[in-house]
Structure 1
């Protein structure tokens, strides 16, 4: 009995061969066969999927400049672009220096986001200390990783830093926007009146509570959706590592172009790239909320398959049916 995919038009996989960048000097070599498509790219799918990283990095950087977002996020998107570019070069060449550019830029960009998360509204002395600490940490990770040349060390360091940044951002989001965590109850209002502190009217406070509750709901969707995409990509990558020989056999059977869909590390690039982009956009929106400027900016994300963006409120047209349209 022929296999169920036999009716699909396909071409056999060309054999692996030496390429322009041979020999391999990286400490990692992924499940994709080397140089089967072109001698100029060791892993063609793993290389080209980084174009999403690079495109989103440029898009995010230009959006920050166009909409006046804090400069730390422009730097973060530059780091994001370097991650995609480094990964493009690494998978094209499988050379150790390009591997370092790929992996260490992930650490540096996460350290930047860590600084953005912990330095907000802190005194100058604390910001200087935090900058020195994170720079020292990045240097230590760089030197120790180069000494060990153990990918697990890099993956664990990146995972811990990412978890710290996300947990801190979630805490900040809840404390800033959840009505019960700030001065929004009647008891709090009376206490502020007795202390002679400014108190918004009940109507204004109700408006802010409703507004911030809606914002919080959307932000939580971004967090859950982004983490699901990110961790889903990580899971696919893990399966790609564990079952590499079997997956390679499946790819040989289905042929090209269908075998491209079984490139697990390529899916990791696409899914983690989008998940990381979502996190930076969430960070931009959260920063505007911290600055009490949420009336001036709006999340443009009409459907979950669109690329979200934080725009100035005057760049958004609300349609009659409640949807939104970006004005160019």
Structure 2
């Protein structure tokens, strides 16, 4: 493959050099060679791939404001934007303060999603104590990581927090939405009961089963992309010297395809976006508002979005219409 690509027109890689932000002060220096494309960005491909984070974050923030999603998800998308912006600055400069912005914002955003997941349906006291606990955990991770300066600690902490919130959200989804697992208390809390009409109950059950099915497809797709990013990230670390050799053999721009950490950004960024959108949709379903909102996800090549259905009354007005009545 490299022999074939090396025959294509290309630009030779220059040697590593000092750049605008030299020297490197971060505890991590990834496989992309420093300042080989421009002196204004230490790792250009790793920097630019974070633009996907920023685009998806802006899309999510706009969706929350436009369609009235819960505030916690607006804050989550702002945190997601901070992750992408911090990573952009980190890879552009390879400075330790920017590394902390990148890595710790991942922890904070994941803690926020833990709060959104574990606080749902709980008392104010429980939610307050949970918030205090998660803030304390974030402060501990921040201080201990700064003391250790060991990236493995951050990676393990992030992995554990992500796994906890993911499995908890799956459990909440199943026991509250799937008809055969739904409790009598859950049905009794429905503000729009079907008054025991069997055909209406069957219609709602079918709707909820279809919702669960689509949610699992969304989870499987997003998780596959996310874990695929971890796999590419591992390969990039494990075979760095060989990848550098191949990139120099085939030259630019073809060598950019072998920047594994850049693929990590694209894949994990997409997977994380899927998770937040799933959380938005799940929250609306838990709030018995699944008839007011819908998931817009035409195919696997487009990113999903939860939008308010047209024709839904909002404060006396009809969404997407000037009509006064439905």
TM-score by length of 2: 0.91
Residues in 2 aligned to 1:210 and 1:143: alpha-carbon distance in whole angstroms? 49
Structure 1 residues 315 and 280: alpha-carbon distance in aligned structure 2, compared to 1, 3 A threshold: farther
Residues in 2 aligned to 1:240 and 1:315: alpha-carbon distance in whole angstroms? 49
- Cα offset for 1:303? 1.1
Q: Look up the match of 2:12.
A: 12
Residues in 1 aligned to 2:101 and 2:183: alpha-carbon distance in whole angstroms? 46
Residues in 1 aligned to 2:14 and 2:7: alpha-carbon distance in whole angstroms? 20
Residues in 1 aligned to 2:52 and 2:183: alpha-carbon distance in whole angstroms? 42
Residues in 2 aligned to 1:239 and 1:199: alpha-carbon distance in whole angstroms? 57
Unaligned ranges ≥5, structure 1: 317-325
Q: Look up the match of 1:202.
A: 198
1:206-245 aligned at under 5 Å gives the runs 206-245=202-241
Q: Look up the match of 1:310.
A: 306
Q: Look up the match of 1:321.
A: none
Q: Look up the match of 1:261.
A: 257
CA offsets, 1:156-213, max 9 Å, x none?
A: 00000000000000001101111111258xxx99xx8xxxx98532111101110010
Residues 21 and 93, structure 2, Cα contact 8 Å, conserved in 1: yes
Question: Which secondary structure does the structure 2 equivalent of 1:116 belong to?
Answer: helix
Range 250-259 or range 3-12, more displaced: 3-12
Q: Look up the match of 1:112.
A: 112
State the aligned residue count. Answer: 308
CA offsets, 1:262-285, max 9 Å, x none?
A: 000000000000000000000000
CA offsets, 1:100-145, max 9 Å, x none?
A: 0000000000000000000011101001100000000000000000
CA offsets, 1:187-241, max 9 Å, x none?
A: x99xx8xxxx985321111011100100100000011111100000000000000
Q: Structure 1 stretches (4+) deviating beyond 6 angstroms? A: none
Range 197-206 or range 126-135, more displaced: 197-206
Structure 1 residues 121 and 183: alpha-carbon distance in aligned structure 2, compared to 1, 3 A threshold: closer
- Cα offset for 1:14? 1.6
- Cα offset for 1:6? 3.5
Q: Look up the match of 2:121.
A: 121
Residues in 2 aligned to 1:6 and 1:58: alpha-carbon distance in whole angstroms? 38
- Cα offset for 1:4? 1.9
Superposition RMSD in Å? 2.0
Residues in 2 aligned to 1:215 and 1:60: alpha-carbon distance in whole angstroms? 21
Q: Look up the match of 2:282.
A: 286
Residues 194 and 201, structure 2, Cα contact 8 Å, conserved in 1: no
- Cα offset for 1:5? 2.1
Residues 7 and 250, structure 2, Cα contact 8 Å, conserved in 1: no
CA offsets, 1:70-102, max 9 Å, x none?
A: 000000000000000000000000000000000
Q: Look up the match of 1:45.
A: 45
